[in-house]
Amino acid sequence: METKTERVKIPRQHMTEQDPKVRITNFDEVPLGYSAEEAVLEAKRCIQCKKPGCIAGCPVEVDIPGFIKMIAEGDFIGAAKKLKETNSLPAVCGRVCPQEDQCEKVCVLGRKGEPVAIGRLERFAADFERQAGQIFVPEVAPPNGRRIAVVGAGPAGLTIAGDLIKLGYGVTIFEALHKAGGVLVYGIPEFRLPKRIVEAEVDYLRKLGVRIETDAIIGRYKTVDELLEEGYDAVFLGVGAGAPVFMNIPGENLSGIYSANEYLTRSNLMKAYRFPEYDTPIARGRNVAVIGGGNVAMDSVRTALRLGADNAYIIYRRTEVEMPARKEEVHHAQEEGVQFMLLTNPVEYIGDEKGWVRQMRVQKMSLGEPDASGRRSPVPIEGSEYLIDVDTVVVAVGTMANPIIPSTTPGLEMNRRGYIVAREDGGTSRKGIYAGGDIVTGSATVILAMGAGKASARAIHEYLSGGK
C-alpha cells in the first residue's frame, strides 16, 4: 500500500453523473456511482484515524474507518457486511443521508482539504453486494414465540422489523399504502433513490421471515388495541409525519396547486410520469412554482422539470444559506436550470374561470433577527408585491402528524403539535407501545428514523425478555 503521504495526495474522487441536459428528460438516477478503481482510490484517502471523528458524527455510529479499510483492500462484500452491522439500509443511506452535516463534516481531512467521500463509499459497497447477488442473509434466532406488530413500513419500521426478526420474534408490518417503504417509495424520486433499491431491501426482510401486510391502515382496519388483543406482545408505531401543511393563503385550493406529498406521490408511487401507461394523472405545468427550501422542495422542483416545465421556480423566503436542503441537491437543481427566487414569499393565488391557478402574488422579504432555531427570520418588505405567471404550484413548507393513530389509541400521550411523546428508547405512555421516527421527532432524516427503530428493537427485546 502507498505511504500515508502518498495517500493524502489522492484527490477526492469525483462521482460520474448524468449530464444535466440529458437527465432532465428522464427519471433515471443522477449520480452513477463509483467504479471499483475509483472506490479503492477514494478509500485509500482515509488515514484510519486512531480517534476517528466520523464515527461520532454518524447518528448510528457506523464503523466508518473499518468498512473503508475493507474497500481499500478490495474486500467489497466484507465492507457491506461491516456496514450492515449497524446500518440495515446502506444503499439508501449512501444516497440520501446528509453526510456533509454528519460524518463528512467532522472527517479530519476536511480541516485542510476535502473529507473522505464516506457516503459515496457506503453506496458503492452496498450496490456491489446487491449487484453481485451475494446478499448476506444473517442467522435468524429460532422463533421465540413472541409476536410484534410494526405499524408503518418507512425506514423506522423496516429497521425495527429486521432487528427483531433476527432475535427470533415473529414480526408483521402493517402498511397503509399498497407498497412498503414509506417516504422512500412515495416521496423521494426515482432520480435520487431508484425504487428497485427499496424493493430489494423489502424483499430481504421478507426473506428473513417478516410478514408485510399492505393496504392495512391501523386505526381503521384494526386499532392498536385490537392488535394487542390479538396477541401481539408489543406494537411499534413508525407512522411518519405524513400530513401536509398548507399556508392558508387566498386561492390555495385552486386546481393545479398541490401539496408536495400529493405531487410526489402521484409521480413516484403512482408513476404518473408514465401516464397513460399508468392510470394516475398529474398536471404537467409549463410554469411551475415550488414553495420551500428543503429536500422536499428540491425533489418537487426537479420532478417538475422532468415533467416538462419550461420554467421551474423555487420560491423561498430566506436565502440559500438558510436552505435546509442538502447542498448537493441545491447544486443539482441549479445545474438543471431551476430558477431560485429567494427572499420571496407567496401571499395569494389567482385563478381563471375554470378555477385553475394562473398567477401568484409574491412579496419580497428581508432577513431580520435570528429566531429560536437560530436562523434569521424573514420580514416582509412593504409594497414589494408583484405577480408571477404560474400554472402549477407545489407547496413544500412542511408536514405534521397524521391524527388517525393518536385519535384511535386511548391513553397514548401526544405533545402539543400532535406528535407521540416517546422516551429515547421509544417507550410511550402506554405499556407495550413504542414509537419512533418522524411521528416522534417531526420531519427529520432517514438515518434518525432508522436509529429510532434500532433503539426500540433493543427496548422491546429487553421488555419482553423480562429485563424490566
Ligand X SMILES: Cc1cc2nc3c(=O)[nH]c(=O)nc-3n(C[C@H](O)[C@H](O)[C@H](O)COP(=O)(O)OP(=O)(O)OC[C@H]3O[C@@H](n4cnc5c(N)ncnc54)[C@H](O)[C@@H]3O)c2cc1C
Binding mask 215-244 for another protein (x = CB under 8 A): xxx--xxx-------------------xxx
User: What gap in Å lies between CA 260 and CA 303, rounded to an integer?
Assistant: 11
User: What gap in Å lies between CA 166 and CA 74, rounded to an integer?
Assistant: 28
Among 255, 334, 377, 408, binds another protein (CB under 8 A): 255
Closest approach, Cβ 228 to another protein, in A, equals 16
Which of ligand SF4, another protein, ligand X, none lies near 431, with the C-beta cut-off 5 to 8 A by kind?
Answer: none
Q: Which is nearer to another protein, 138 or 355 (CB)?
A: 355
Q: What angle do CA 341, 345, 351 make, to 5 degrees?
A: 100
User: What gap in Å lies between CA 209 and CA 212, rounded to an integer?
Assistant: 9
Which of ligand SF4, ligand X, another protein, none lies near 109, with the C-beta cut-off 5 to 8 A by kind?
Answer: ligand SF4
* Chain CA centroid to CA 346, Å: 26
Which of another protein, ligand SF4, ligand X, none lies near 296, with the C-beta cut-off 5 to 8 A by kind?
Answer: ligand X
Which of another protein, ligand X, ligand SF4, none lies near 172, with the C-beta cut-off 5 to 8 A by kind?
Answer: none
Strands 311-315 and 339-341, sheet pairing: parallel
CB 265 within 8 A of CB 243: no
Under DSSP, the state recorded for 267 is I
Among 41, 171, 283, 291, binds another protein (CB under 8 A): 283
Q: Does 187 bind ligand X (CB under 6 A)?
A: yes
Binding mask 400-439 for another protein (x = CB under 8 A): --xxx-----------------------------------
Closest approach, Cβ 120 to ligand X, in A, equals 15
Binding mask 253-292 for ligand X (x = CB under 6 A): -----------x----------------------------
CB 189 within 8 A of CB 299: yes
Strands 243-244 and 234-237, sheet pairing: unpaired
Binding mask 195-234 for ligand X (x = CB under 6 A): ----------------------xxx---------------
Q: Which is nearer to ligand X, 41 or 89 (CB)?
A: 89
CB 111 within 8 A of CB 178: no
CB 295 within 8 A of CB 324: yes
- Cβ neighbors of 268 (< 8 A, separation 6 or more) are 185, 186, 187, 188, 189, 190, 195
Among 438, 338, 349, smallest CA distance to 395 is for: 349
Q: Rounded to 10 degrees, what is the CA torsion of 127, 33, 321, 342? A: -110
Stretch that binds another protein, among 109-117, 118-126, 271-279, 328-336 (CB under 8 A): 271-279
The owner of cell 467489497 is 76
Which of ligand X, ligand SF4, another protein, none lies near 290, with the C-beta cut-off 5 to 8 A by kind?
Answer: none
Q: Which residues bind ligand SF4 (CB under 6 A)?
A: 46-49, 52-54, 64-65, 107-109, 115-116, 118
Q: How many CB atoms lie within 10 A of CB 178?
A: 10
- Across-strand partners of 345? 363
Contacts to ligand X by CB under 6 A? 96-97, 151-157, 174-177, 182-183, 187-188, 217-219, 238-240, 242, 264, 295-296, 299, 326, 402, 404-405, 437-439, 443-447, 449
